Chains A and B, each alone.
Chain A
Amino acid sequence: MAQNTKPTSILDSLGEEIIRIIAPVSICMFMVVILVSVLDSSSSSSTSASVTSIATIAYSETNSDSSWDKFVGALLNSLVFVAVVTAVTFILVLLFYLRCTKFLKLYMGFSAFVVLGFMGGEIALFLIEDFSIPVDCITFVVALFNFAVVGVLAVFMSKMAILVTQAYLVVIGMLVAYWFTQLPEWTTWLLLVAMALYDLAAVLLPVGPLRLLVELAISRDEDIPALVYEARPVTHNDSGAVGRVAQRRVWRGRSGENSDHGSNNNPNANSVFVENVDSGSNSTSNASVVPDSSTESNTLVSGHNDATLVRAEEGWVPERDAELSAPLIDPRMNIQPQQSELEGIGLGSSGAIKLGLGDFIFYSVLVGRAAMYDFMTVYACYLAIIAGLGITLALLALYQKALPALPVSIALGVLFYVLTRFLLEVFVVECSLNLLMF
């Protein structure tokens, strides 16, 4: 029967890495939309809890201001925010330069704990209140504490199952994004645009803090201590690949590890982008090492003993990350930046795509804010962001260097939001109410 001997078509596995990045981004956005619509509809919109935070320090929006006032106020807010973020990122670069890695890691752990424990706890309290879930204080505190501690361990210990790590990163992104959506409307939109521009500048300009950070990390063969989502690299059990030497993808002409197939990082074998890259390397994996190396390469590489692996990192463009300090949007603790997250997109040493958590957060903020208007804008913005992410990934494969993941997506997202809100909605409602469809 022809079916048994039919070789697998390329369509079976093409584009898998992209889906492995798009899926968690979509899940994060979906959960933020759900949270926003559930918690928003329950709390009356008249009680606009004005959150005091860095992002509203310059101007607090009220409903009675004119559009121009709101615009100017929001602009001031976002400029202040970007200024704070830039300052903190430079401090981060300085600390990294002075090799205070331990301090940075502790700080990250602490901020992850705060996000999961306090922000997560507050949102859980809202939900308990809304749905009248019967749970007592002690159980709640114990459960929350455990949740937060496991989360901190998950993002730091590379021994944890990668699914748990990925899930916790998505949850952290979701919680921070939800808090960002509580900002006033104009401030949120202008903040997104400002952050997209900042990301563009910080990564591409030679004096940008993120670029300095990446170059420091490359020159020292260390990885940046930060929260980064790494998609699992694609592994293939190609029956035709046994006996073929696994070769590493060549980036920027630096390699020489072509003969290494021991502790091999599995380059993705079937990305279309490999073809655009003029590497000419045959990126299939040696089937026998696939299980071993996949577990190794799944982890965020930190302090790997394997010399070849370290050399391999030279050849890759590693994490192109940016540290973003998001202010704690909590009325109690006023203006403490307490988080390091990452923005930007890059390729991990295993060939897996890495996306900084800041990107997750700002995509979800955009979609969450669109959800506060209507679901039509949500769908339009979701498609726009995914398209932007796809374009950024294509550019990443083309240019083979660290790229900011925010600008394209945010630009498309804002554009589609505006177009949908002012053009599409009227058209569709008009047609639908008359039961005219095409």
Chain B
Amino acid sequence: MTLAAGIGYALLALGPSLSLFVSVISKKPFLILTVLSSTLLWLSSLIVLSGVWRGFLPLKSTSRWPYGLLIFTSIAFQEGLRVLFWKVYKRLEDLLDDFADRVSKPRLYQTDKMEIALAGGLGHGVAHAVFFCLSLLTPAFGPATFFVDRCSQLPFFLVSAIIALAFVTIHTFSMVIAFNGYAEGNKVDQVFVPVVHLVAGMVTLVNFASGGCIIGIPLLYFIASLTLIHCGKMVWRRLTENRSRQGN
């Protein structure tokens, strides 16, 4: 609607990630590099998916199952990539530990590992927000606004910003949960992340119904807060375990 509105939408989607970036990630250059590479990875996965689905677009908007299939395949692919990301991270962790030994510094702390996972997740989240919300915001800097039929109560930009915020949260913290799950071999955590991602994706299908976004968005936020709480509990548990182990 104007410059202010455009910036407002952008900050709505990316505000928490920006503050996370400034407070935690910008202090350590390695984390900035991690954010950039995980953003690139997410973008590449998105490009591959769009390449695969390009032939079928635009889908007929009457039935829902093509969209469901699209979301399902996309999420499956991205979760597969997450496992790959984890394997690469494992190797990187070994390299870093060797390097730390060589320069006689301590090996990676528990908090370091979690910070790397957080940075990876933030990269994914920022990539989502940038490509699904920010890149479409260009008209919002102009004099008018845009409404979608299915969700006509709010401007399209606002809706996409809100949804993007939820997804940023989900992506950021599910990476921490996932990495921790793979490290500990915790099956619950390992399964939790793909399931949450899939459920969140499917919930957006609810937006198809006219006025569906009234139900869809709160559901999405419920899932996001679930992820956040689970991650918080897990981190707290790990850190207190660690501290008690160090105290012994």
CA distance A7 to B98 in the complex (A): 17
Q: Which residues of B contact A376 (CB under 8 A)?
A: 131, 135-136
Interface string of B80-114 (1 = CB under 8 A from A): 00000000000000011011101111101100100
Q: Which residues of A contact B115 (CB under 8 A)?
A: 11
The A interface is mostly helix, strand or loop, or mixed, namely helix
CA distance A433 to B216 in the complex (A): 15
Q: Which residues of B contact A16 (CB under 8 A)?
A: 29
Smallest CB–CB gap between A307 and chain B, Å? 30
**Which among A15, A429, A437 is the interface contact of B29 at CB below 8 angstroms?**
A15
CB-contacts of A398-425 with B (<8 A): 416, 419-420, 422-424
B57 at the interface (CB under 8 A from A): yes
A19 at the interface (CB under 8 A from B): yes
Q: Which residues of B contact A430 (CB under 8 A)?
A: 57-59
Interface residue count for B (Cβ, 8 Å)?
A: 73
B39 at the interface (CB under 8 A from A): yes
B74 at the interface (CB under 8 A from A): yes
**Which among B33, B39, B47, B137 is the interface contact of A420 at CB below 8 angstroms?**
B47
CA distance A8 to B32 in the complex (A): 18
**Which among B37, B75, B105, B135 is the interface contact of A10 at CB below 8 angstroms?**
B105
Smallest CB–CB gap between B88 and chain A, Å? 14
Q: Which residues of A contact B33 (CB under 8 A)?
A: 15, 18-19, 390
**Which among A2, A10, A384, A434 is the interface contact of B103 at CB below 8 angstroms?**
A10
Smallest CB–CB gap between B210 and chain A, Å? 11
Smallest CB–CB gap between A164 and chain B, Å? 23
A438 at the interface (CB under 8 A from B): yes
CA distance A19 to B32 in the complex (A): 8
B31 at the interface (CB under 8 A from A): yes
Find the B residue at minimum CB distance from A378: B135
Could you tell me if B207 and A436 are in contact, using CB atoms closer than 8 angstroms? Answer: yes
The B interface is mostly helix, strand or loop, or mixed, namely helix
Interface string of A1-34 (1 = CB under 8 A from B): 0100001111111111011001000000000000
Q: Which residues of B contact A10 (CB under 8 A)?
A: 96, 99-100, 103, 105-106, 108
CA distance A383 to B35 in the complex (A): 11
Find the B residue at minimum CB distance from A387: B40
A375 at the interface (CB under 8 A from B): yes
**Which among B37, B46, B103, B150 is the interface contact of A269 at CB below 8 angstroms?**
B103
CB-contacts of B124-178 with A (<8 A): 128, 130-138, 148, 150-151, 156, 159-160, 163-164, 167
Could you tell me if A275 and B99 are in contact, using CB atoms closer than 8 angstroms? Answer: yes
Could you tell me if B205 and A432 are in contact, using CB atoms closer than 8 angstroms? Answer: no
A137 at the interface (CB under 8 A from B): no
CA distance A374 to B75 in the complex (A): 26
Smallest CB–CB gap between B26 and chain A, Å? 9
Could you tell me if A7 and B208 are in contact, using CB atoms closer than 8 angstroms? Answer: no
Q: Which residues of B contact A12 (CB under 8 A)?
A: 27-28
Could you tell me if B130 and A435 are in contact, using CB atoms closer than 8 angstroms? Answer: no
A240 at the interface (CB under 8 A from B): yes
Smallest CB–CB gap between B150 and chain A, Å? 7
Could you tell me if B105 and A424 are in contact, using CB atoms closer than 8 angstroms? Answer: no
CA distance A15 to B164 in the complex (A): 30
CB-contacts of A360-384 with B (<8 A): 374-376, 379-380, 383-384
CA distance A267 to B75 in the complex (A): 44
Find the B residue at minimum CB distance from A423: B50
CB-contacts of B40-87 with A (<8 A): 40, 43, 46-47, 49-51, 53-54, 57-59, 61, 67, 70-71, 74-75, 78
**Which among B30, B40, B75, B151 is the interface contact of A11 at CB below 8 angstroms?**
B30
Smallest CB–CB gap between A154 and chain B, Å? 26
Could you tell me if A375 and B159 are in contact, using CB atoms closer than 8 angstroms? Answer: no
Could you tell me if B30 and A14 are in contact, using CB atoms closer than 8 angstroms? Answer: yes
CA distance A435 to B212 in the complex (A): 10
CA distance A12 to B103 in the complex (A): 14
CA distance A387 to B58 in the complex (A): 31
B181 at the interface (CB under 8 A from A): no
**Which among A7, A423, A427, A436 is the interface contact of B205 at CB below 8 angstroms?**
A436
**Which among A2, A269, A270, A434 is the interface contact of B61 at CB below 8 angstroms?**
A434
Interface string of B7-48 (1 = CB under 8 A from A): 000000000000000000001111111001101100100110
**Which among A419, A423, A424, A435 is the interface contact of B160 at CB below 8 angstroms?**
A435
**Which among A8, A270, A386, A428 is the interface contact of B131 at CB below 8 angstroms?**
A428
Could you tell me if A427 and B134 are in contact, using CB atoms closer than 8 angstroms? Answer: no
Could you tell me if A379 and B130 are in contact, using CB atoms closer than 8 angstroms? Answer: yes
Say yes or no: A435-B102 contact (C-beta < 8 A), given A380-B43, A419-B51: no
Q: Which residues of A contact B71 (CB under 8 A)?
A: 436, 438
Task: Return the 3 tightest CB-CB contacts between A and B, nearest first.
Answer: A427-B50, A376-B135, A435-B207
Could you list 11 further interchain pairs (A-B, Cβ under 8 angstroms) beyond the known A383-B39, A387-B40?
A: A10-B108, A12-B28, A14-B29, A284-B103, A375-B138, A379-B134, A384-B40, A387-B36, A428-B136, A435-B148, A436-B70
A-B contact pairs, 25 of them (CB 8 A): A10-B105, A11-B116, A19-B32, A272-B99, A275-B99, A275-B102, A375-B135, A375-B138, A379-B43, A383-B40, A383-B43, A416-B43, A424-B46, A426-B50, A428-B132, A428-B136, A432-B136, A434-B208, A435-B160, A435-B204, A435-B207, A435-B213, A436-B71, A437-B132, A438-B75
